[in-house]
Structure 1
Amino acid sequence: MKKLSLFSLAILSSFAISCSSDDSPTTSGDILGKWYFKEYKVQGQTIPYDDHEECGRDYIQFNADGSGANVDVWNCELDIAPFTYTKSGNNLSITSDGVTDIVPITELSATTLKVKTISDFDDDGDDETVVIVLTKN
């Protein structure tokens, strides 16, 4: 399985899907801090994020000043891809390398962040809706 991240999926997504419901999870939590990749939800399946190394885990960092970083632990070294972001309602606007994408937040609590993107997750030529689940420890 290819390695995916919030940052790369946000850049690849060409449009955003949002949903609303009276029963939907909260999205009013605080986004600041480190969010570790946990799993993907694709076509009714839950796929664990299994690109962890003994020396560290991949994460997304959101800072109070609107900056952030997608951090990939690769051979026990940090590969840091900086970005800027704004959060407006249930949407994240992420800008990196001059490209801005809007990513809808489907859940944001003290310990869980879920975002929805569209990408060709399985490399079959067709786009899938992908929910990326991250956790804060």
Structure 2
Amino acid sequence: MKNRIILFVSVLVLGLNLTSCGGDDGPSTSADIVGKWELYKIGDKDDGSEYLELYEHQAGCSKDNIEFFENGDFVTTSYFEGCESESFSGTYTKSGTSLIVDDGFDETPLTIKELSSSTLKVYDTYSEDGETFTEITIFKRAD
């Protein structure tokens, strides 16, 4: 269950590595989100700095992932000890840098920080007890 929660939070926080182009042109989001993406890094943002760590996949198993389909559906899959898997699905809507993920219970608005042919990075910003938090998830496109 913990891995499923981590995967879902990571999906909600989807993220890409920022490019160092400089300027205020905004994030690159010209690539297509459709396809299979493997979890790469997770973390958070505090005082303007990102704190990221490599996502640890279950050794010897396929990598935890999310797949976006052209019809607006998505499926996430997590792998556990013994390479047993658990998947769940929902719908998504992408418009510019906005990505809304709906798992059938919650609709979560995300901000795409970058979307390229190889990397997807998203921020999940939310408030709790008067504090604002930003979680980051970075995915790499699966081969």
Band of TM-score, shorter chain:
0.7 to 0.9
The one-letter code of the counterpart of 2:30 is: S
In structure 2, list runs of 5 or more residues that go unmatched.
Answer: 14-22
SS of residue paired to 1:8 = helix
CA shift at 1:70, angstroms?
1.2
| In structure 2, distance between residues paired with 1:69 and 1:100 | 15
In structure 1, list runs of 5 or more residues that go unmatched.
Answer: 13-20, 121-125
| Percent pairwise identity | 30
Aligned to 2:18: none
| In structure 1, distance between residues paired with 2:51 and 2:12 | 23
Q: What is the correspondence of 1:8-19 to structure 2 with a 5 Å cutoff?
A: 8=9
Give a deviation string over 1:38-59, Cα, whole Å, max 9, x none: 1123243221101333121100
SS of residue paired to 2:9 = helix
Moved over 6 A (4+): none
**TM-score normalized by the length of structure 1:** 0.76
| RMSD (Å), alpha carbons | 2.5
| In structure 1, distance between residues paired with 2:43 and 2:105 | 28
* Greater relative contact order (Cα < 8 A, sep 6+): 2
Moved more, 78-87 or 46-55: 46-55
**TM-score normalized by the length of structure 2:** 0.73
CA distance 1:97–1:11, shift in 2 (3 Å) = farther
CA shift at 1:102, angstroms?
1.0
Would you tell me which structure has more helix in proportion to its own residues? Answer: 2
CA distance 1:10–1:51, shift in 2 (3 Å) = closer
2:138 aligned residue (114, 117, 133): 133
CA distance 1:11–1:31, shift in 2 (3 Å) = closer
Aligned to 1:40: 42
SS of residue paired to 1:118 = strand
Residue 77 (1) aligns with residue 81 (2): no
Aligned to 1:63: 69
Residue 29 (1) aligns with residue 31 (2): yes
